[in-house]
A and B are shown apart, each in its own frame.
Chain A
Amino acid sequence: MKNTPATDLAPVAKRPTPSGGFQAWLPRLVLAPSVAISLFFVYGFMLWTFVLSLTSSRMLPSYDFVGFGQYARLMQNERWWVASTNLMIFGVLFVVICLAIGALLAILLDQKIRQEGALRTIYLYPMALSFIVTGVVWKWLLNPQLGIQAMVQSWGFESFRFDWITDPDMAIYTLVIAAVWQASGFVMALFLAGLRGIDDSIIKAAQLDGASLPRIYLRVVMPCLRPVVFSAVMILAHIAIKSFDLVVALTGGGPGYATDLPATFMYAHAFTRAQIGLGSASAMLMLGGVLAILIPYLYSELRSRKHG
Chain B
Amino acid sequence: MSTLQKTTLALALAGATLATTAHANEVEVLHWWTSGGEARAANVLKELMEAEGYGWQDFAVAGGGGETAMTVLKSRAMSGNPPSAAQIKGPEIQEWGELGLLGDLNSVADAEGWDELLPDVVADIMRHDGQYVAVPVNVHRVNWLWANPEVLEAAGVEMPTTLDEFFEAGEAIREAGFVPLAHGGQAWQDATVFESVLLGGQGSEFYQQALVELDPEALGGEQMIDALEDFKRTRELMDEGMPGRDWNIATAMVIQGVAGFQLMGDWAKGEFTAAGLTAGEDYLCAAAPGTQNAFTFNIDSLAMFRVSDDEEREAQQALARLVLEPTFQEAFNLAKGSIPARPDLDMSEFDSCAQQSLADFQRTAEEGGLVPSMAHGMAVRADIQGAIFDVVTNYFNDADMPAEEAAERMVSAAQAASF
Contact = CB atoms under 8 A, between A and B. Distances in A.
Interface in A166-189: 166, 168, 171
Interface size class of A (residues with CB under 8 A): 35 or more
Contacts of A66: 419
A73 interface: yes
A269 B1 contact: no
Nearest to B12: A41
Nearest to A238: B2
Contacts of B417: 275
Nearest to A163: B240
A290 B78 contact: no
Interface size class of B (residues with CB under 8 A): 35 or more
B111 interface: no
B7 interface: yes
A268 B239 CA distance: 27
**Which of A256, A270, A271, A279 lies at the interface centre, i.e. has the most chain B CB atoms within 10 A of its CB?**
A256
Contacts, number: 127
B209 interface: no
Interface string B258-302: 000000000000000000000000000000000000000000000
Contacts of A46: 1, 5
B418 interface: yes
By secondary structure, the A interface counts as helix
A144 B4 CA distance: 34
**Which of B3, B186, B242 lies at the interface centre, i.e. has the most chain A CB atoms within 10 A of its CB?**
B3
Interface in B194-241: 239-241
Interface stretch (A21-29, A57-65, A110-118): A57-65
**Which of A56, A242, A270, A275 lies at the interface centre, i.e. has the most chain B CB atoms within 10 A of its CB?**
A275
Interface string B62-90: 00000100110010011000000000000
Per CB-CB distance, the 6 closest pairs between chain A and chain B, nearest first, are A145-B241, A273-B386, A256-B397, A255-B397, A287-B1, A274-B382
22 contacts: A49-B4, A58-B383, A69-B419, A73-B416, A76-B416, A78-B390, A144-B240, A145-B241, A165-B243, A166-B185, A166-B240, A242-B2, A254-B186, A255-B397, A256-B187, A257-B187, A266-B4, A268-B386, A271-B7, A280-B4, A283-B1, A290-B2
Interface of B: 1-5, 7-9, 12, 67, 70-71, 74, 77-78, 92, 95, 99, 185-187, 239-244, 381-383, 385-386, 390, 393-398, 416-419
